[in-house]
Amino acid sequence: MRLVFADHEPHLKPNPRRDHMSGVPELSYSTLDRHGGRVLAPGQVVRTAGQSAPVGTIYRYDRLLVDESVIHDTETREQLEEAIRPTGMLMESQAASSIVAGQGSYRVPVLSTHGDQAAVDAWSLLQRLRTVNDESSLPGDLLDKVRLEHLMICSKVTPGVGSGEPPIGDSRSYGLGRIPVDMVNPMPDRKQVGRRLRVAILDTGVPTKHPAFDVSDRTEGEDTFVVVDHAFQAKLGEHSDSPAIPLDDPWEGPVHEPTLVGEVASHYGHGTFMTGLLRQMSPDVQVYSLKVVHNDGLAYEHEVIGALHHVADQVEAARGGDTEALIVDAVVLAMGYVDESPDDEPGGWIGDAVHRLAELGIPVVAAAGNQSSDRPFYPAAFAAYPQSETAAPILSVGALNPNRHIAMFSNEGPWVSCYATGAGLVSTYPCEAKGSRMPDRRAKSSILNRHRESHDPDDFSSGFAVWSGTSFAAPLAAAFLMNALAESEIGTVNGAAEASARAHEALKRLKKQLA
C-alpha cells in the first residue's frame, strides 16, 4: 500500500479553458429519476442576466436548501414565499426539515401551484428570483441563503459488460472492476487499548455479519470493530423525501439494481469495502459507520450535512462529559459533487460542516473523485481553502495504481493533498451479494457433490472482492494517518486545539516517514 503527498500546499487554480461539463458524473435517466435528479448543462438552462454562465452539476430539481435563519423567521420566510408565488411555484416551507438541529440548512420542497402548469425546477426558480426588479425583489443577503441541493456521487470504478456505465478515464484497463476473490492472509489481530481511535465512515453501511469484523450499536458500548447508530438512521428515515428506499437502517438492501436483469447494485458493499481496508491497515481503530449513501452510489447533500453535524455534536457532547456520546478522531468521505459556480467556489452549508469538524480538531479525509478531471470535487477540494491555525487538516485524496503512478480514472489538480493506492485493492465485501451473471462454463463434478465451473463474476459468497476508486484511496490515507496518530500519547484530549495539534503533528511525522 502506498501513500504519496503532493509537493505543494493545496490551492485552487481557476481554469478558464476547462470544459463546462468536466467532472460531471454520467448517470442513467432511471438513476436520476429515482432521486429527483437533473443535470445542469450550461447550454440548456436559463441564467441570470449579466451573470456568468454556470458550469455543469447534478441537483435535485424539486428541492432547495434554505438557511435555518430564513425558516425560523416568519417575516423573512413569508418574504421569500411571496417572491416565489409569481413564478407559478411555491415553497412548501411547512414541510421544511433539518436532520440535526442547528445544522444551518433545511430541505424545502418546491411545488407547482394549483392550476398552474409551470415546470418545477429549482435552478430556474433561483434564476427568476435573481432577475426580479420590482418592489418584490429580494435582498442579496436573503438570496444567498437559498441554494440548490446537489446529488453527491461515490467515487468507485465499476466498468465492464452490463455495468450501465461508460468507461471513465479509460477505466477498461481496470478489468471488470468489482470482482469476487478470496483472501489468503488472515486479518491482523486487534490489540487491547484504553481508548481506541475512532474513524467515522459516511457511506453505504456495513453488513451485520461478516467474518472479518463484528458490529454493535453505539448504545451498547461494546468494543467491536464497527459501531453503527440505529437512532441516527431512524431520524434519517423519518426525514426521507425521495422515491428511493429510505436509509433508515444501518444495513439493508436492495442488493440488486431495480431492473429485470438482477445485477448487483453498482455501489452495494461500497462502505463494507472501505471498512475492510481500515481493518487490514489499522486494526486497532474502531469504525463509526453512518449510512448516507444509496446502493446506486448517490447521496443527498442535506443528509450528508446532517451526518457531519451529527458527528460534530457527538464529539462536543463527549468532551462535555456525556458518557453515551462518541469521540471521533477522523472522518472519511468518499462522495462528492462539482459546483455550478464558474469560479469553482461552492456556497451552502457542507463547507461549514466540514470546517466545523476541522475546528473541533477532527481531520476530514475525502476522495478526490473518479472523473479524470482537474475540476475541484467537493468536499475534498475544501482542502485548498484557508483554515485557522487551530483547525485539524483536511485531506483530499487521489488514487494511485499499484506501481505508484496516478490511476487514469483519478481526478488530480492543485487542490489534491495526496495520493494513495486506489486500484486493484482487495477488501471485504458482503457475502450475500449474488447477481444474475453466471460462469461461462459449468458441469457436475464426478467426485464431489458440487459443480465444476469457471469464475462466477458476481458471486461474492467468499466475502472479499477486488475494486478500484479514489473512494478506497481515502480510507487508506486515513489508516496511515491513524497509525501515525497512534504513535503519540492518546490519553484524554481536553479540547479542539489539543486534538488539532495532535493531528498536525501526526501528519508531519507521516510526511517525514514517507519522504
CA distances to 88, 95, 96, 248, 288 from 110, rounded to whole Å, are: 10, 10, 10, 24, 34
Q: Indicate the length of the chain as a whole number.
A: 515
Say if residue 373 is in the same domain as residue 291.
yes
Q: How many CB atoms lie within 10 A of CB 133?
A: 7
Contact 303, 240 (CB under 8 A): no
In-domain check, residue 488: yes
Task: Give start and end residues of each alpha helix (H) in 111-257.
Answer: 122-131, 140-143, 230-238
Q: Residue 481 is part of which domain span?
A: 170-176+188-440+454-514
Q: What is the CATH classification number for the domain harbouring 458?
A: 3.40.50.200
3-class secondary structure per residue, 277-317: HHHHHCCCCEEEEEECCCCCCEEEHHHHHHHHHHHHHHHHH
Say if residue 203 is in the same domain as residue 147.
no
Say if residue 411 is in the same domain as residue 497.
yes
Say if residue 244 is in the same domain as residue 146.
no
In-domain check, residue 447: no
Say if residue 358 is in the same domain as residue 476.
yes
> Known catalytic residues?
203, 270, 471
Say if residue 106 is in the same domain as residue 209.
no
In-domain check, residue 96: yes
pLDDT value, residue 161: 34
Say if residue 211 is in the same domain as residue 125.
no
**C-alpha grid cell, residue 135:** 418592489
pLDDT value, residue 410: 95
The pTM score is 0.94
pLDDT digits (tens, 9 = 90+) for 329-351: 999 999 999 999 887 777 779 99
Q: How far apart are CA 143 and CA 477, in angstroms?
A: 38
3-class state of residue 452 by DSSP = strand
In-domain check, residue 45: yes
Per DSSP, 340 falls in state S
pLDDT value, residue 190: 95
Number of domains in the chain: 2
Bridge partners (DSSP) of residue 499 are none
Say if residue 107 is in the same domain as residue 63.
yes
CA distances to 238, 287, 376, 467 from 203, rounded to whole Å, are: 18, 12, 21, 16
Q: Whose CA is closest to 418, among 9, 13, 1?
A: 9
Contacts of 24 (CB under 8 A, 6+ apart): 39, 56, 57, 58, 338, 371
In-domain check, residue 120: yes
The strand ranges marked E within 335-441 are 335-336, 364-367, 394-400, 418-421, 425-428
Q: How far apart are CA 231 and CA 249, in angstroms?
A: 9
pLDDT value, residue 119: 78
Say if residue 130 is in the same domain as residue 198.
no
Q: How far apart are CA 391 and CA 440, in angstroms?
A: 54
Contact 187, 283 (CB under 8 A): yes
In-domain check, residue 15: no
Contact 397, 369 (CB under 8 A): no
Please classify residue 181 by burial: count the beta carbons closer than 10 Å to its beta carbon, then call 0-12 exposed, 13-18 middle and 19+ buried: middle
In-domain check, residue 48: yes
Helices (runs of H) and strands (runs of E) counted in the chain: 11, 21
pLDDT value, residue 176: 58
> Mean pLDDT, consecutive 10-residue segments, the chain of 515 residues?
90 79 90 94 77 88 92 91 85 83 85 66 88 71 92 74 42 72 94 90 96 96 97 94 90 85 92 98 97 96 96 96 95 96 81 97 97 94 94 98 94 96 96 89 84 87 95 98 85 80 94 89
pLDDT value, residue 382: 96
pLDDT value, residue 511: 94
In-domain check, residue 86: yes
Q: How far apart are CA 339 and CA 385, in angstroms?
A: 15
Say if residue 212 is in the same domain as residue 101.
no
Say if residue 498 is in the same domain as residue 351.
yes
Say if residue 319 is in the same domain as residue 385.
yes
pLDDT value, residue 162: 35
Helix or strand run (H / E) with residue 6:
none
Q: How many CB atoms lie within 10 A of CB 175?
A: 14
